[in-house]
Chains A and B, each alone.
Chain A
Amino acid sequence: MSAYYDLLVSPFMDFEFMRRALVACFALSLGAGPIGVFLVLRRMSLMGDAIGHAVLPGVAIGYLLSGLSVWAMSLGGVVAGLVVALLAGATARTTGMKEDASLAGFYLASLALGVLIVSAAGSSVDLLHILFGSILAVDDEGLFLVVSVGTLSMLLMAAIFRPLALECFDPIFARAVGAGGGWAYAIFMGLVVLNLVAAFQALGTLMAVGLMMLPALAARFWSENLGTIIVTATIFAMVASLTGLLVSFHVELASGPSIVMTAAAIYIGSIILGTRSGLLARLLRRPHYHDPKEARR
């Protein structure tokens, strides 16, 4: 019993930074879970990655102006991310080019600008900190930021759920009934940026993409119901956070990558074991349904 306690509980009981890290990751999971699911459904799985890179110049400018201040760096990151997302969206809409193509164009420019600013300022250590973060450094302000963003994300996602789902599912119908999901989608893009920036201190912006996308991709293998998929993704993200933190504590590995690797393990496990379209489910043929009601899980 006490072996389990030492393994699973005492790291959090004994060390404040572990408690902070856990709370931060749980808060991130609450926002990142649902957002990741919609990114997957919108066939924009790589968008988080692009935005994660695009925030760099803003974070760098924030850092140059006020040093390692959470608020300045976050504000800069949010502004840079939103500018890139809006420019990409507007370009796609007005020129008829695909959204992922214009996003690629703008985020690459943004990333180069960010690297330019950081290198001109002369320190490369800080760049690593921004992109990969360190959970052990979550201070009060960082924790407050992450928890605020997590709360806001959950509330807003609940509010825009219906128009956003319709916009992703059947955009032509959405336009025909005048549901024009444009504003819902704009709010959603804002939340993507906000969540990735909020995560930069805890996980690093790039690792945060992992916590956003991998649980969502894994959850798709377990259900055919949007609500269930979102809850599953959120739980997966939390399990990955908890497990990853414990692994990083006991084995003394970097925390961000440990969390994302755990999420990746869940994803690979889901590919194999998933009940909906996993490999095992395909191999072990189960009897087909004889009444459509049986398929309702």
Chain B
Amino acid sequence: MTPAITLTDVVVAYRRLPAVHHVSGAFEPGTLTAIAGPNGAGKSTLMKAIMGLMPLSSGRIDTAHVSPRQFAYLPQAPEIDRSFPVSVLQTVMFGAWQRTGAFRTISKVDRECARACIANVGLDGYEHAPIAALSTGQWQRTLFARLILQDARVILLDEPFASLDERTTDELMALVHGWHKDGRSVIAVLHDITFIRQHFPQTLLLARERVAWGPTAETLSQDNLIKAKAMTDRWARDGERAPQHHHDHTGHAHA
């Protein structure tokens, strides 16, 4: 099987400090993968790199058959200006961008699709509510409706359930399972280990470097979790000093 997204020795750095350090591996097509790891492990950075929103310092990311247009991305919640004067329906409609583009007319069918997506996330009746008036949960549902309308093959979610209650989390997770059943690849950054064990067949455990990657039960072993914590602790303790290297390279500077 051809891997959908292959990472080869990926390094991503902020101001020369690597946030993702020599990570290699592959997200197989149609898999449901969690990215776990402590704070500062580079989880969100890796997602941005896959979306092409962050330049790589070195290494490569191949998306074999999947065109960049087939990727959908949900950033962490606070990244959007909620005071912007648009309604739920208008926000969701942007999910049809691949069809409407910058200039094409939005057809009645597109609008009906958007309404269906809004109903799908349990927000019917809220189509014309301004987004400033929504609760955290309703806002996240709105963004999920936009994801549904995008109809992407690969869906990346960055902390999609942070600060959501149980009911909202369950309903949105059911949508994620639905995407998985459709054969889409879903990659989600998550913190809750118990939740990952419950819902995600595959896990990538990250601590700047790849700690483990594979079936969740094996990846999230006690040993690996302790290892991940130790690796990030080492970075925190040593400040800006680099971790031990198993090889020489000159791709980027380690202060």
Q: Which A residues lie at the B interface, using CB under 8 A?
A: 41, 159-160, 162-163, 165-166, 168-170, 172-173, 175-179, 184, 220, 223-226, 229, 291-293, 295-296
Q: Name the residue of chain A whose CB is nearest to the CB of B81.
A: A169
Closest 3 pairs between A and B when the two form their complex, measured CB to CB: A296-B128, A224-B130, A163-B102
Are the C-beta atoms of A162 and B102 separated by less than 8 Å? Answer: yes
Q: How far is the CA of A293 from the CA of B91 in the complex (A)?
A: 17
A165 to B85 Cα, complex, angstroms: 10
Give chain B residues whose Cβ lies under 8 Å from the Cβ of A292. 125-126, 128-129
Q: How far is the CB of B88 from chain A (nearest CB, A)?
A: 9
Q: How many A-B residue pairs have CB under 8 A?
A: 76
CA distance A178 to B51 in the complex (A): 10
Residues of B within 8 A of A41 (CB): 84-85
Chain B residues 20-40 with CB under 8 Å of chain A are none
- Please encode chain B, from 66 to 93, with 1 for each CB lying within 8 Å of some chain A CB and 0 for all others: 0011011101000111001111001100
Is B53 close to A, CB under 8 A? Answer: yes
Contact B51 A160 (CB under 8 A): no
> Is residue B103 within 8 Å, beta carbon to beta carbon, of the partner chain?
yes
**CB of B235 within 8 A of chain A?**
no
Contact A175 B53 (CB under 8 A): yes
A sample of 11 cross-chain residue pairs with beta-carbon separation below 8 angstroms, ordered by A number, consists of A160-B102, A162-B100, A166-B94, A169-B94, A176-B73, A220-B85, A224-B85, A224-B132, A292-B129, A295-B133, A296-B129
Which residue, of B72, B85, B94, B98, has the highest number of chain A Cβ atoms within 10 A?
Answer: B85
Q: How many residues of B contact A (CB 8 A)?
A: 32
Q: How far is the CA of A165 from the CA of B102 in the complex (A)?
A: 10
Complex interface: chain A residues within 8 A of B128 (CB): 292-293, 295-296
B150 interface residue (CB < 8 Å to A): yes
Q: Tell me whether A178 and B85 are in contact (CB under 8 A).
A: no
Q: Contact residues of B with A, CB < 8 Å?
A: 51-53, 68-69, 71-73, 75, 79-81, 84-87, 90-91, 94, 97-98, 100, 102-103, 125-126, 128-130, 132-133, 150
Contact for A226 among B85, B103, B126, CB less than 8 A: B85
Known contacts A162-B102, A224-B130; is-contact A172 B53 (Cβ 8 Å) = yes
CA distance A202 to B152 in the complex (A): 51
Query: CA–CA, A226 to B103, complex, Å?
Result: 18
Residue of B nearest to A175 (CB): B53
- B51 and A291: CB pair below 8 A? no
Residues of B within 8 A of A224 (CB): 85, 87, 130, 132-133
Looking at the assembled complex, report how far the CB atom of B160 sits from the nearest CB atom of chain A, in whole angstroms: 15
Specify the chain A residue showing the minimal Cβ separation from B126: A292
* Distance between B51 CB and nearest chain A CB, rounded to angstroms: 6
Contact (Cβ within 8 A) A170 B94: yes
Contacts of A159 in B (CB 8 A): 103
Contact A293 B125, beta carbon cutoff 8 Å: yes
> Are B87 and A178 touching (Cβ within 8 A)?
no
Q: How far is the CA of A149 from the CA of B129 in the complex (A)?
A: 35
Closest chain A residue, CB of each to CB of B69: A178
* Contact partners of A225 in chain B: CB under 8 A: 85-87, 130
Contact between A178 and B53 (Cβ–Cβ < 8 Å)? Answer: no
- Compute how far the CA of A225 lies from the CA of B128 in the bound complex, rounded to whole angstroms: 10
List of B residues within 8 angstroms of A229 by Cβ: 85
Measured between beta carbons, the chain B residues less than 8 angstroms from A293 are: 125, 128
User: Please, how many angstroms separate the alpha-carbon atoms of A220 and B85 in the complex?
Assistant: 9
Measured CB to CB, the closest approach of chain B to A84, in angstroms, equals: 26
Q: Known: A166-B94, A169-B80. Is A179-B102 also a contact (CB below 8 A)? A: yes
CB-CB under 8 A from B84, the residues of chain A are: 41, 168-169, 226
Q: Cα distance A31–B75 when bound, in Å?
A: 34
Q: How far is the CA of A90 from the CA of B103 in the complex (A)?
A: 26
- In the bound complex, residues from chain A placing their C-beta under 8 Å from that of B90 are 226
Contact yes or no, B68 A173, CB < 8 A:
no
Complex: A175 Cα to B52 Cα, angstroms:
9
Closest beta carbon of chain A to B94's beta carbon, Å: 6
Known: A173-B73, A178-B68, A292-B128. 6 other contacts (CB 8 A): A41-B85, A170-B94, A177-B97, A224-B87, A225-B130, A226-B90
Cβ of A169 and Cβ of B86 under 8 Å apart? yes
Residues of B within 8 A of A296 (CB): 87, 128-129
A293 to B133 alpha-carbon distance, docked (Å):
12
The residue in chain B whose Cβ has the minimal distance to the Cβ of A291 is: B125
Q: How far is the CB of A99 from chain B (nearest CB, A)?
A: 15
Residue of B nearest to A168 (CB): B84
Residues of B within 8 A of A170 (CB): 80-81, 94
Report the separation of the CA atoms of residues A226 and B53 in the bound assembly, to the nearest whole angstrom.
28
Chain B neighbourhood of A173, CB < 8 A: 73, 80, 94
